[in-house]
Structure 1
Amino acid sequence: MDSTSEFSPESPLWELWNRDTLDKAKALLQSQNTPFRLENFVNGAHISESAVEYIDSVDPKTGLVFCKVPCTQPEDIDAAIHSAKAAFPAWSKTTRAERSALLRRVAELIKKHRELFAAWESIDQGKTLERARVEVDRAIANFLYFSTFILHQKTAARMIDEDAALTYEHRSPAGVFALISPWNMPLYLLTWKIAPCLAFGCTAVAKPSEVTSVTAFLLSSIFNKAGIPKGVINIVFGDGPTTGAALVTSPLISGVSFTGGTATGIAIRRATAHQIGKHLSLELGGKNPTLVFADAYRDSIEQECTVRTAAMAAFQNQGEICLCGSRIYVENTIYDQFVCDFIAHVNETFVIGRTVGAVASRAHYDKIRGYLRLAEQQGAVFKLGGVPKELGAREGYWIAPVVLTDVLPSSRVMKDEIFGPVVTISRFYSEGEAIRLANDSEYGLAAVVLTSDGARMRSVSEQLEAGMVWVNSWLQRELGTPFGGMKASGTGREGGEYSRDVFTVVRTVHLPAYW
């Protein structure tokens, strides 16, 4: 059956599913007279909401509006929540084998349409097509991982010696969840929440960022194709103040899994503080350090690996990854050589339009530009790149990689999460100073340690105030490991059993030896 046969020609899904390569998608954008409009997915159907306001979604590479995203109003959010609530009793009682098979089917369908998702992710977010393909593959992996994880769960049982009584832990699905994902890795991070939520028997209302909503719209039809029952997963669109706030504060929502900015995470925590039983998992911002020790620079092979890892951690996806290492600290004895090697590698490897995409929005472009103007005013040295131009209308949001030195430790450029293709390089003189500088941040999400000293690998990593530390590598993930940060980088962990803690409630059952 043709993949578009289930949609009417008037549906935006019909047009989108027909444009399953980047060239075809670009051709559609060039030919369209008016932007297409996304539709919410509630109770297994795509519906036009009562919202009279729509949010412009812009192609970051051109600056042109290509679709309209509904700003879903509270009354329509309430309808989506009630749909999830109605679906919960039946879904929560399905067997793990049933849920596993359905999640595997979702993964198979995304894989079948891999290029479709990658093309629209590249257009919607500004990332390169190559990077978009990587993230589609990770979305597939999310569903595959949790589809098998739930088949092999274990629980704890204990004996009480005095009377030989037995106690055991019993878990059950927690209820209806609000799943809110950011704009930097739209499909990957949305599925990182949806897959475990459904796997553990919960139902959900998911809200992607209003900046990048297209692949979530495409994903909604995958759930119907896979046979997910109506109401189990609902996807609504809109901004934070209107749509997101109504979603997370609803008393019918049992938990919130949110990835995004620290300020929004604080707002969610405040708004739900009185709902004491609500599960909260908040993965927030980061200003992550990369520590480069002299012993990682002993020969040409090590030098190449060290520079390549530090640069990849700084500039992948235009630096729009919460785990990017945007503060590089280099041991003094190799500082000058590292800076020279690093600039040469970045200049050759991270090229605008080829390996570097556009940043996600005009607002984000202006934010990054503001930080670079501040760096210039404060006397920072631009070793590579410069302050991007002030944009006019209908221009793409392109910012070339920027490498800064001589940035004041107290500068906002050093302290704030810029979240773009901007990295600072500073010196350190001892291991203790390197640790102190790395920890001198309100954030504590991730860190990178580059060293050949086996003892240092442990001694430094275990002292860093970061939820995730990579040694001589970056962004490697085993999906059972805890994902999350310390300090202002959030609360809670997700991944494997840690996701089970988010999406289930546990009770201890005590059985007497005799009755």
Structure 2
Amino acid sequence: MGTLNPEEWTRQALMECAEAIWGCDSLDKANSLIASRSTPICLPNYVAGELRLPSSPSTTFIDSFAPKTGSLLCRLPCAQQDDVEEAISYARAAFQTWSKTTRAERSRHLRRISELLQEHRELFAVWESIDQGKTLERARIEVDRAISNFSYFSTYILHEQTAARVVDGVALTYEHRSPAGVFALISPWNMPLYLLTWKIAPCIAFGCTAVAKPSEITSMSAYLLGVLLQKAGLPAGVVNIVLGDGPTTGAALVASPLIDGVSFTGGTPTGIAIRRATAHQIRKHMSLELGGKNPNLIFADAMAPATRERTIRIAASAAFENQGEICLCGSRIYVERAAYAEFVREFTEYVAKNYTLRKTVGAVASRQHYNKIRGYLQLAADEKATFNLGAVPPLLDRDGSQGYWIAPTILTDVAPGSLLQQDEIFGPVVTISPFEDEEDAVRLANASEYGLAAVLLTNDGARMRRVGEQIEAGLVWVNCWLVRELGTPFGGMKNSGTGREGGEYSRDVFTVVRTLHLPAY
């Protein structure tokens, strides 16, 4: 927590800072602005269509650090219950009008937001890279996906279908959907803009309003999105963004009786806490996308000469993209024993060549996360696992001034019951283990409390279905990874969450369905 000079929070100062940041659409410009400031950038809430000062006298402030340098980047308010309730009140007032707007009007707003994001693509990518630690190239990919989120739902709502049924000689019945109300939208720190817009776009497309809370570790792109929504002319109160931590801000948001639904992406323990906090509020719509410890099954035939390069490339991408900080990463690699030694050797060589720290691999998101990952790697050393690549990273200096850099790490000789195989490390760390046959592969893949995603690499068409349909995961990729059509259901099994989002599945989250029965005479 930090202190704040009141002069930094004048309305004029907030707007001047916003415009200064808005002009930094390159790393050089952004770093120059950061270096020129004697104080950290101040991030306000976005409420009722404007950048807002925290109103609660008990508001504290959170320091957020740049992962690549370890230096203080910005300071943000930890919104208290009064601030949260105020944002909810504006969202409820806006719902009365927004829920009655035509689909064409809502579509127009979403298209405008998508167009503005496209226009300022590099700006968002630059600040996402600085704030989260990811490479600029990876940040650009995620901005493009955020653009697609608004574009997709802007057209989806223009072509919705409903169901009508006839009871012969008695009645015509049809389904009618209406917006479900005001939603709490809580997004994580690993893909801040992309996952925030994955929630905001369908929420407002289906006529709901929102109070969104990004992670306190990575609030910059949410702040910029608020500025963009203002520039896009989205009616005040339709989307509100409050900044703060989970125990204070997030807890007040999800527990409020004035919130009609929650869409959350984050860790399983937090998902459990949300379920407990809202158990008595049965009416609330709930979509929880939680943790994963995803298997990557590689059969010997996938290492045939014609597909060997593809197999290695997909496995490496699924392991180390975004420093392994993607809930869908395949961090448990299982290889058919006949190809095990060959795969370990070639996979290690490929990763060493193509995933280079500070070039194609960014910094992990925070000091806390660095220490968590380091703890698991120290455990690997203590358990005598083999480090085919990587090592236990050093302890950070007191000021963390070297940044939060952890090299890609490949471990073998890890016991099945080890926490390295069971816990979601969420970093650039993979384990590789052998399996004997299909039955053994499925058993190992399903030996987890999680069931979010899986990767299956094989050239056998029958095996693709035979094994793919037995894996306990909401998303299974065969000979590919992270390929998505936005209408497909996104979500996991077991402790990886509840509910699905995407296309008509998002419609189920953000709308209420009622059936009307009309007499046939």
Considering the TM-score relative to the shorter chain, is it more than 0.5? yes
Q: Distance in 1 between matches of 2:119 and 2:170?
A: 54
1:31 Cα deviation from its structure 2 partner? 1.9
1:80 aligns with 2:74: no
- Which residues of 2 match residues 30-109 of structure 1 at below 5 A? 30-50=35-55, 52-109=59-116
Q: Distance in 1 between matches of 2:514 and 2:205?
A: 19
Q: Distance in 1 between matches of 2:171 and 2:182?
A: 34
- Aligned pairs, number: 507
Q: Distance in 2 between matches of 1:293 and 1:407?
A: 20
1:7 Cα deviation from its structure 2 partner? 7.3
> Contact 1:38/1:68 (CA < 8 Å) preserved in 2?
yes
1:151 aligns with 2:158: yes
Q: Distance in 2 between matches of 1:11 and 1:493?
A: 41
1:347 aligns with 2:352: yes
CA gap of 1:9–1:407, structure 2 versus 1, over 3 A, is: closer
1:125 Cα deviation from its structure 2 partner? 0.1
Q: Distance in 2 between matches of 1:438 and 1:8?
A: 53
- Which residues of 2 match residues 75-474 of structure 1 at below 5 A? 75-161=82-168, 163-299=169-305, 301-392=306-397, 393-474=400-481
| One-letter amino acid of the counterpart of residue 303, structure 1 | R
Q: Distance in 1 between matches of 2:493 and 2:229?
A: 34
* CA deviation string 1:15-38 (max 9, x = no partner): 211212111101112221110210
Aligned to 2:4: none
> Contact 2:49/2:235 (CA < 8 Å) preserved in 1?
yes
> Contact 1:319/1:421 (CA < 8 Å) preserved in 2?
yes
> Contact 1:60/1:125 (CA < 8 Å) preserved in 2?
yes
* CA deviation string 1:165-199 (max 9, x = no partner): 10000000000000000000000000000000000
Question: Which stretch shows the higher mean deviation, 41-50 or 498-507?
Answer: 41-50
Q: Which runs of 5+ in 2 are unaligned?
A: 1-10
Q: Distance in 2 between matches of 1:451 and 1:270?
A: 41
| One-letter amino acid of the counterpart of residue 228, structure 2 | I
Aligned residue for 1:325, secondary structure, equals: coil
> Contact 2:14/2:42 (CA < 8 Å) preserved in 1?
no
* CA deviation string 1:215-247 (max 9, x = no partner): 110100111111111110000100000000000
* CA deviation string 1:343-376 (max 9, x = no partner): 0000000000110000000000000000000111
Q: Distance in 2 between matches of 1:441 and 1:476?
A: 23
| One-letter amino acid of the counterpart of residue 298, structure 1 | A
> Contact 1:106/1:222 (CA < 8 Å) preserved in 2?
yes
Under a length normalisation based on structure 1, what TM-score does the superposition of the two structures give? Answer: 0.97
Question: Which stretch shows the higher mean deviation, 36-45 or 468-477?
Answer: 36-45
Q: RMSD value over aligned CA atoms?
A: 1.0
Q: Distance in 1 between matches of 2:428 and 2:275?
A: 30
- Which residues of 2 match residues 470-509 of structure 1 at below 5 A? 470-509=477-516
Aligned residue for 2:476, secondary structure, equals: strand
> Contact 2:69/2:403 (CA < 8 Å) preserved in 1?
yes
| One-letter amino acid of the counterpart of residue 20, structure 1 | D
| One-letter amino acid of the counterpart of residue 105, structure 1 | R
1:149 Cα deviation from its structure 2 partner? 0.2
Q: Distance in 2 between matches of 1:298 and 1:509?
A: 58
> Contact 1:9/1:15 (CA < 8 Å) preserved in 2?
no
1:250 Cα deviation from its structure 2 partner? 0.4
> Contact 1:329/1:434 (CA < 8 Å) preserved in 2?
yes
Aligned residue for 1:408, secondary structure, equals: coil
Aligned residue for 1:511, secondary structure, equals: strand
Q: Distance in 1 between matches of 2:107 and 2:12?
A: 27
Q: Distance in 2 between matches of 1:361 and 1:199?
A: 33
> Contact 2:14/2:51 (CA < 8 Å) preserved in 1?
no
> Contact 1:12/1:38 (CA < 8 Å) preserved in 2?
no
> Contact 2:468/2:476 (CA < 8 Å) preserved in 1?
yes
1:10 Cα deviation from its structure 2 partner? 5.6
* CA deviation string 1:422-451 (max 9, x = no partner): 000000010100000000000000000000
Q: Distance in 1 between matches of 2:473 and 2:112?
A: 36
Q: Distance in 2 between matches of 1:135 and 1:77?
A: 28
Aligned residue for 1:473, secondary structure, equals: coil
> Contact 1:44/1:224 (CA < 8 Å) preserved in 2?
yes
Under a length normalisation based on structure 2, what TM-score does the superposition of the two structures give? Answer: 0.96
* CA deviation string 1:374-412 (max 9, x = no partner): 111011110100100000032200000000000011011
| One-letter amino acid of the counterpart of residue 12, structure 1 | C
Q: Distance in 2 between matches of 1:477 and 1:403?
A: 27
1:12 Cα deviation from its structure 2 partner? 2.3
Q: Distance in 1 between matches of 2:435 and 2:25?
A: 49
1:164 Cα deviation from its structure 2 partner? 3.5
CA gap of 1:345–1:504, structure 2 versus 1, over 3 A, is: same
Q: Which runs of 5+ in 1 are unaligned?
A: 1-5
> Contact 2:78/2:249 (CA < 8 Å) preserved in 1?
yes
Q: Distance in 2 between matches of 1:472 and 1:343?
A: 19
Q: Distance in 1 between matches of 2:27 and 2:516?
A: 55
> Contact 1:103/1:147 (CA < 8 Å) preserved in 2?
yes
| One-letter amino acid of the counterpart of residue 14, structure 1 | E
Q: Distance in 1 between matches of 2:448 and 2:85?
A: 39
> Contact 2:156/2:503 (CA < 8 Å) preserved in 1?
yes
Q: Distance in 2 between matches of 1:45 and 1:31?
A: 26
Q: Distance in 2 between matches of 1:309 and 1:7?
A: 49
Aligned residue for 1:106, secondary structure, equals: helix
Aligned residue for 1:168, secondary structure, equals: strand
Q: Distance in 2 between matches of 1:181 and 1:112?
A: 24
CA gap of 1:7–1:221, structure 2 versus 1, over 3 A, is: farther
> Contact 1:446/1:469 (CA < 8 Å) preserved in 2?
yes
